[in-house]
Every structure is written in C-alpha cells, then in structure tokens.
Structure 1
C-alpha cells in the first residue's frame, strides 16, 4: 500500500524528543519500524521552522545539522513555516510564583511582566493542506501522520470521510488526543521505536560531508 508520511516536526519534538537521548532520529527508520510491513513508504514530508538563537544560542546550529542529516533520506521533503520571537507584556498568574523562588515578593505583587514569547507558525496549516491535496490528487493509498496537534483533526477527517482513504495516526505521546483518535483509521504509538530508529553517528552525506550528532543531544 503506497504510503506518504506527514511529520509535524515541532509536535514530535516537544511530545517525544525533548529531554530524551533520541533527538538524532532517522524518520525513515522510525516509519518503517512503526508501520505495518504492507505499507510501502513512497514519501516523507517533514514540517518545521528554523528556530531562533534567542531561545537557545546553540539551537539553530544543532537544527541545521539535523536538517542536513534528514536530507540524506531518499524521498524526504522539508517544508518550512516561520518561527516568531516577540517581546510582549503578559498577565501573571496570581499569586505570583518565581523560578527560582524569591524569598520576598514586592508589595503589591506585579500583575504583568514583559516576556519573550516564541511561536511556530504555518507548519500545521501546511501539513493539513498538503495532506488533503495529496489525497484528492491520488498521490497515496494510505497516509500516516505524526502529530498530537488537534488543529489537524479536520484535515484528517476530510481524508478519511470525504476522500475515503485510510490514515494512520502515529502518535508521539501516550495521551493521544481523543478528537484525533476519533477521525483516524488506525492509531499506533511510536515511543517504543525511537531508540532503535537513530541515525548512525556520524552521518556521511552523498557528497562526503560528515555530520556529527550535536554534543548536547
């Protein structure tokens, strides 16, 4: 069964990879391990955004190395949204709690604080649009989607109910959103396959570039 896989990169990272030793993840190996043998993977679409050094100075370099490693996977395409970092005032939960703890709070306690807010924009929209487009253009017989983002409920529903094509939800968390489970044809958890689906270290590209796994990964 010809299968295209759609990967919500940020959701995968925050739900399954952050804080784990499995960030050097080979998506092709993961999909082959977690999908049934009759699924022939004919394409992998990876949706992400280039992150800002304001969040972590080393993060853009680490991400760049990983994106280069992903490019060695045949048939994988990368699709980029945008990563926005803004300074804005936000209302503080009351009573105010600081981390690390502050022995004595000002009186009266502040109600607003200026914060740095990071947002990834566009990836889920791109994934949903591409999933629906590919379904109606007959590009796959079966789709697999790695996400736990409920913004993707409607695209999955359109594919399964309107296009009448099966969709496997490859969930990156043990607490799968019920609304996603309700519209997916099948649900499979991927956590148990992360450790056995790592790139070799280093990865050598076809043109001889050596990509070493980032040290803090």
Structure 2
C-alpha cells in the first residue's frame, strides 16, 4: 500500500521528543516501522515535514536551539524528507491571571502577556494532503498514493480528514498520535472517528531503535547530532 505521511513538527517535538534523549529521530525509519506494524504491505513513498523556525530569543538555549533545529532538518533532507516552513507570530495580549487550580479564570482579572503562535502549519498540512489526493486521481491506479497518514494530535485537522474520506472513499487514512508512553493523554475522539486506524502511543523502545547515526552524510557539510541532544 503506497503511503504518504504528513508530519506536524511542532506536535511531534513537544508531544513525543521534548525532554527525552531521542530528539535525533530517524523519522522515515520510525514511520516505516509503524506502517509495517499496522499493515505489512504498506510502503513509505514520501514524508512531508511541516515546522516553523526556532526564535533564538525565546528558545531555552538561544542560538544553540536554532542551530540544532537547522542541523536536524538537514538530516531529514538527506533522507529525502520534504520540509515546509510556517512562521511564528509574537504579539502582546491579555490572559486571565492564574491564582491557583481551585480558583477559576476570570475575565475581569487579566494580565498582559506575550502570545506566541505558530501560523500557517495546520492549513498547509490540510491543503497538502487534499492536493495530493486530488492530483493522484489523474495517475494510473498502480502509481497512486493509496494511504495518507497524519502525524498529529491536533483536532483542527478533523475537517481535512472528513473531506478526504468523503471525496476520496478509496483512500485509506491513518493517524499517529505523537504521544510517548508513560504520559496519560486523552485520545482525540474526532481524529479516531475519521481515521481508518489510529496509533495511540510511540514507545521509548521504538524511539531508541530509530535514531540517526551521530553523523549523517549530506550533499555538503555532514549533519552532526547536537551535543546536548
């Protein structure tokens, strides 16, 4: 089954990799493994990775965080992953003051905050999945993508899955939640309902087994695993 995977990089990092020693993830290798677990006849034909550039001024390690992200993306590109960028938007705003967990939020007690949002990624993923399905209808059946797999836990993607199911009934849809074991998270019901299959969790053993080598050859300078990763 010819498969294309669409990965929300922000969801992947903060849902699965942040705070772990597994950030140097060989994404195509992990996805191939999971696809084979779900259906041994699945073949990974393409991976599309959607992200936004790190803002050094807001990152925990400043410039080093930006350099680590850039290095990882070079490693992904060397493995034929298509990378697409959105952007971050930082603007002032207001939010209810946090007092304690027993005190409800109040619209009359707000504080000034900086609001950081990732922009364009969700829409880009949704449009890219739909355009692929639409374009493939012009291809011979043996050349078409037969399965689209989304790596995200974002329920904003539900309308895209609904549209794909309605307009392309022969297309199989999968969802991999970027949830690692040991952390209890709710399973998004709308994603589970619209997908033909859903992977709830990625284990630590799977993450450990699918890491890049410390040095990844590229067309130019090798991509070396960041020291603090």
Using structure 2 for the length normalisation, give the TM-score. Answer: 0.82
Partner residue, 1:13: 13
Partner of residue 149 from structure 1, selected from 146, 154, 176 = 154
Q: What's the counterpart of residue 182 of structure 1?
A: 193
Match of 2:132 among 109, 131, 134: 134
The 2-side partners of 1:176 and 1:10 are apart by 18
How many angstroms apart in 1 are the aligned matches of 2:159 and 2:94? 33
CA RMSD in angstroms, aligned pairs only: 2.1
Secondary structure of the structure 2 residue equivalent to 1:47: strand
Aligned partners of 2:35 and 2:43 also within 8 Å: no
| Residues paired across the two proteins, number | 203
1:149 Cα deviation from its structure 2 partner? 0.3
The reply to whether residue 114 of structure 1 matches residue 120 of structure 2 is no
2:210 to 181, 197, 207: 197
What is the DSSP-based 3-state SS (H/G/I as helix, E as strand, rest coil) of the residue aligned with 1:131? helix
Question: 1:117, 1:78 → 2: CA distance?
Answer: 25
Q: CA contact under 8 A between 1:7 and 1:145: conserved in structure 2?
A: yes
Q: Which residue of 2 aligns with 1:45?
A: 48
The equivalent residue for 2:222 is: 210
Specify every segment of 5 or more residues in structure 1 that has no aligned partner in the other structure, as ranges: 97-110
- Contact preservation (8 Å) 2:6, 2:151: yes
Note closer, same or farther for the CA distance 1:22–1:186 as it changes in structure 2 (3 Å cut). Answer: same
Residue 123 of structure 2 corresponds to 125
Q: TM-score, normalised by structure 1?
A: 0.86
CA displacement at 1:112 relative to structure 2: 3.9
Quick one: distance in 2 between partners of 1:89 and 1:61?
A: 32
Q: Could you list the runs of 5+ residues in structure 2 that have no partner in the other structure?
A: 102-108, 137-143, 180-184
* Cα pair 2:4 2:147 within 8 Å, conserved: yes
**CA drift at 1:5:** 0.5
Contact 1:90 / 1:112 at 8 angstroms: preserved in 2? yes
